[in-house]
Amino acid sequence: MTAVLTPPTATTPRTTGRRPSTRAGRAGPVAYTLLVLAGLLSVFPLYWSLVAGSHTNAEIAATPPPFLPNATFFENVSAAMDQAPLGLAIVNSVVVAGSITVGTVLFCTLAGFAFAKLRFRGSGPLLALVVGTMMVPTQLAVIPLFMMIAELQWVDSLQAVILPTLVSAFGVFFMRQYLVTALPDELLEAGRVDGASTHRIFFSIVLPVARPAMAVLAMLTFLTAWNEFFWPIIALTAANPTVQVAIANLGSGYVPQRAVIMAGTLLGTLPVLLVFALLGKQIVGGIMAGAVKG
């Protein structure tokens, strides 16, 4: 669901972290208390999946409930892996989200550069088309999409979930907005005077300048692709799932084994949490940079 990622209009002029005004006061104890509370609410459900995932059903139901995880977690994980091919699912998700990320960043940078700096007939209406469809949810296209992949006999194969999300209108707009200002016209003209072709200019001038925005787009795209639910659950089956499809099937068993479901769910979420732990600051910055200008 790219639409949710995508504040349109101009990106906010900000300098990272430093507030231009002196207006925001220092946080008092009340503010800290509320923030810590909000933080606890944010992480509690995931922590609970760890706790619940490391006990039996009976233990979770006890009063008072357990509040610490223990080693039973690994037993439950292996039980979850017996019920759903979670290993395969993680490999599939890495392939799918990785391909989508590479494709989106590459194609959107190419198109974003063209819309930002190359003048060609029809570029205005084409850009308007990109912006106009940014908010149209992909969910509304799934019926013909399914007819297409059924025709191509792609049901249950990974290209069925990679290709439809290989590009994003948001990505094009995002790269264009960045390059319009980050890439000085003089630099391009200088390259042109030196006799460089458009491609040469793209590779040796545009790409280095675009790199920071490409990194932000890559992180956001990977996160979205990893978590994509609606289309994969239609296009894939339990035999060859992505992580989200596998988790969903785990949760839909006839005999719900809560502890096992929780263990499997957490296992499938760990890769994004890892990415988040490493790149959280950049992801936060990326989302805030995409925010609307007032």
Partner 1 sequence: MTLADDSPRTVTAPAVPAPPDPTPPPVPRRRGPSLSRNRWGYAYVAPFFVVFGAFSLFPFLFTAWVSLHDARLSDISGGTFVGLDNYAALLGNDFFWNALRNTITIGVLSTVPQLCLALGLAHLLHYKLRGRTFFRTVMLVPYATSIAAATLVFATLFGRDYGIINTALEAVGLDRVDWESGTLSSQVAIAVIVTWRWTGYNALIYLAAMQSIPGELYEAAEMDGASKWRQFLHVTIPSLRPTILFTVVVSTIGAVQLFGEPLLFGGNGATTGGARNQYQTLGLLMYQQGWTNFNIGQAATTAWAMFLIILAVVGSAALVGRYRARREGARR
Applying CB under 8 A, the span of 71-79, 81-89, 144-152 interacting with partner 1 comes to 144-152
Question: Does 63 interact with partner 1 (rule: CB under 8 A)?
Answer: yes
- State the number of binding residues for partner 1 (CB under 8 A): 156
Q: In Å, what is the CA distance from 276 to each residue of 2, 6, 271?
A: 19, 19, 9
Rank residues 82 and 281 by Cβ distance to partner 1 and give the closer one.
281
Sole binder of partner 1 in the list 70, 74, 87, 147 (CB under 8 A): 147
178 lies in the binding site for partner 1 (CB under 8 A)? yes
Residue 86 binds partner 1 (CB under 8 A): no
Selected binder of partner 1 within 89, 221, 236, 268 (CB under 8 A): 268
Write down the least CB distance from residue 62 to partner 1, Å: 9
Q: From the centroid of its chain, how far is CA 289? A: 16
137 touching partner 1, by CB under 8 A: yes
Counting contacts by CB under 8 A, is residue 131 touching partner 1? yes
Sequence-distant (≥ 6) Cβ neighbours of residue 123 within 8 angstroms: 114, 115
Residues 95-124 that bind partner 1 (CB under 8 A): 103, 106-108, 110-111, 113-115, 117-120, 123
Question: Minimum CB separation from partner 1 for residue 93, in Å?
Answer: 10
Q: Quick one: which of 78, 87, 237, 281 contacts partner 1 (CB under 8 A)?
A: 281
Question: What is the rounded CA–CA span in Å between residue 202 and residue 210?
Answer: 10
Asked if 110 contacts 171 with a C-beta cutoff of 8 angstroms, the reply is no
Q: Write the CB contacts of 211 (distance below 8 Å, at least 6 apart in sequence).
A: none
Q: Give which of 143, 154, 170, 289 is closest to 230, Cα–Cα.
A: 143
Q: Which is nearer to partner 1, 71 or 153 (CB)?
A: 153
Nearest to 116 by CA among 188, 45, 67, 62: 188
Closer of 73 and 113 to partner 1 (Cβ): 113
- State which of positions 26-45 bind partner 1 (CB under 8 A): 26-27, 31-32, 34-35, 38-39, 41-43, 45
Residue in 86, 97, 213, 236 binding partner 1, rule: CB under 8 A: 213
Angstrom distance (rounded) from CA 193 to CA 188: 9
Burial of 228 (0-12, 13-18, 19+ CB in 10 A): buried
Residues of 143-176 as b/e, b for ≥16 C-beta within 10 angstroms? eebbeebeeeebeeebebbbbbbbbbbbbbbbbb
Q: Please report whether residue 65 would count as binding partner 1 according to CB under 8 A.
A: yes
Q: Which stretch binds partner 1 (CB under 8 A): 68-76, 83-91, 213-221?
A: 213-221
The residue behind tokens 């490409």 is 214
What single-letter DSSP state applies at residue 62?
Answer: S
Tell me if 22 contacts partner 1 by CB under 8 A.
yes
Q: Which stretch binds partner 1 (CB under 8 A): 72-80, 81-89, 227-235?
A: 227-235
Give me the least distance between CB of 25 and partner 1, in Å please: 6
Cα–Cα–Cα angle for 255, 256, 260, nearest 5°?
A: 120
